[in-house]
Amino acid sequence: MCLEELADLQVLRASELQMSEDCHDDFPWSGEDVARQVRLRLRLLLALHNEGQGAELLKIPEIYENMFSTTLDLNAMGFSSIEALVQCWEDIFLQRSHLPGYVFPAETHENWRVVNTVTTGLRSAVFAILLARYPEGPDPFELVQCLEQTLSGKMSDMFKANGYIYDLDATTQGLLCGRGSEFQLADCAELQMLLHDMDDFVRLGCREDGSLVVKLRDGEFPLLDLLDCNVGDGTCSDNEIESKDLTSLKPCDVKLSISGLKTSSWSQSQSLQIGSWPNKLSDTEACNSNSNLLNPSPSPKIKHELRLILGSDNYIGNGLPVAEFFEVYKKRKGHTLPLEGYENLKAVVLAMPEVIDQTAFAATDCLKLVQSAKNLRVLSVTKAGLRQVLFWVLLKNPSGIWAELLEGWYLDFAGCTLSSTLTRHGYEKSRHSALLPVFQFLHDMADVLKIHPKNPHIYMWAEEVEDPVLSDSPLLGILPEMIQYDCLREDYENSRSKSNLSLHLATAGIQPYQGLDAGGSSNVCHKEDDCHSSSSEVSTDLGEMWENRHNSASS
């Protein structure tokens, strides 16, 4: 598809974009879209400017504005200066010690692939297919079929032409050749990388039955910005680098000018690094993970069970006496505690200092939960039923899930992003990594998840797992319906609604939040219980959950 045709598609969407402009501030992806589109533009800037031979660091904002007719908004992305951005985005920028003050395209497979999808027209084809099916979007296998039909070739050949062939084994080849009912996105690393490289306008989502789809982010296709940009050509002497703005190319020449880049030298470079999804966990959590490998500790499942028991209302304050522990555990779990090779309970306790307070254990012979950020946030998401959402996603994607998939799936399911929901449960928020809460959430769920043996960024079933509502509620000492997931109750509750509730109760002559205690004896609580009576019956059927959610919303 040529750029003129893409311009026509942009006109077709103009009315939709104008209609959504008024509510742009409330759109859940708007903040992160800024960084995604800027990252694409900076990759193209470094590839186009001076024929990819570098640019003066302090002139990057000026070159950016001249090329894309828009300012480089550093504050919107959380950066105080262009130097801070370059230092953070080391996967895009390369700095050389012998040429201080200049930046170059980082020699990585990811940068080469992204630019290559522009030159081959693959980005244009993906955009056209998703736009034709907007807003629903096709499932991953339907996208593959449409690409093969649009570009008149096999998907495996397209992967190879764009640098995506790494481990296309016989199983993946078979899935791409027609067994669509068996296709799982987690089984095709090449398609995952392709969608990841296009995440400035592509996201994952789900249909009402929970099945995975690929869709547009509801924003302009970034490549269309090139229709209005001024792309300069430049020369570079052997001794110095000069930034020069020469005559602008016509819009139809943009694709050809990018095609003329010496990207083949990138692919043949010995220093080229494989572009992969970086680990977004903190250094502390990474160190803890590594130390666990060196010093084996009780299984994540045992840790989770003790975390919930000690974090329940009965024992979160004063702890659980050791003399009562085995009785309580057997009552809530239905069997005795497996010691997993440890001599006794004391040895188990001493092996998990991140869960059980060692000082309290030595001084009072009581088991108390460590009041750490991780323990508290795991308790919070468990009581909110978010582990049940994870269970539903895995039912539809048994081959594995990852942060981008979970974020997009949840957005279509609940109407808001999972990352914003998780921040209300104690997960860290980062302006430089919007998905950090989701990465942490997946890392915390080690009792039900394990890392995929071939793809370290993918999580899959750790073992046969039952609905967390049924397994977690007895450990917390509560009824299953108390943690049955309800997106209307959980995901739309924010500080404004709480303030409005306080004002409403005060106006009615009731003390704010009266009756919202554990006793639940007031009329306010009884009315709330009546409103959620439809959730009293636990169900793991996703279709039924969707129907209940829509019925509740309409009523």
Predicted pLDDT at 276: 42
| Percent of residues, the chain, with pLDDT higher than 70 | 65
Confidence of residue 109 (pLDDT cuts 50, 70, 90): confident
pLDDT in tens, 492-543: 454 443 444 344 444 444 443 333 233 333 332 333 333 333 333 333 455 5
Predicted pLDDT at 220: 59
CA 125 to chain centre: 25
Residue type, 295: N
| Percent of residues, the chain, with pLDDT higher than 90 | 43
Cα dihedral 25→31→33→39 (10° resolution): 150
Among 123-127, 438-442, 528-532, where is mean pLDDT lowest?
528-532
pLDDT in tens, 214-249: 999 875 565 554 544 555 443 333 344 333 332 332
pLDDT in tens, 43-88: 989 998 888 889 999 999 999 999 888 899 998 888 899 999 999 9
pLDDT of residue 12 exceeding 70, the answer is no
What is the distance between the alpha carbons of residues 137 and 124, in angstroms, rounded to a whole number? 16
In angstroms, what CA-CA distances link 173 with 73, 125, 169, 452?
43, 21, 6, 20
pLDDT in tens, 186-205: 988 889 999 999 988 999 99
Predicted pLDDT at 78: 82
Predicted pLDDT at 327: 96
Predicted pLDDT at 176: 63
Check if the beta carbon of residue 347 is closer than 8 Å to that of residue 356.
no
Q: Please work out, in degrees rounded to the nearest 5, the angle formed at the alpha carbon of residue 516 by the alpha carbons of 512 and 520.
A: 135
pLDDT in tens, 270-302: 333 334 444 444 444 444 444 443 347 899 999
Predicted pLDDT at 494: 47
**In whole numbers, what is the pLDDT of the chain averaged over residues?**
74
Task: Quote the tokens at residue 132.
Answer: 């034709």
More confident residue, 362 or 513: 362
What is the per-residue DSSP string for 484-498?
---HHHHTT--HHHH
Closest-CA residue to 100 (of 81, 86, 80): 86
More confident residue, 268 or 176: 176
Confidence of residue 455 (pLDDT cuts 50, 70, 90): confident
Burial call 358-393: b when 16+ CB within 10 Å, e when fewer: eebbeeeebbbbbeeebbbbbbbbbbbbbbbbbbbb
pLDDT of residue 340 exceeding 70, the answer is yes
Q: What is the DSSP letter of 247?
A: P
Indicate the burial class of 477 (C-beta count within 10 angstroms; 0-12, 13-18, 19 or more).
Answer: middle
What is the distance between the alpha carbons of residues 219 and 198, in angstroms, rounded to a whole number? 13
Indicate the burial class of 5 (C-beta count within 10 angstroms; 0-12, 13-18, 19 or more).
Answer: exposed
Predicted pLDDT at 32: 61
pLDDT of residue 454 exceeding 90, the answer is no
Task: Quote the tokens at residue 507.
Answer: 């106006």
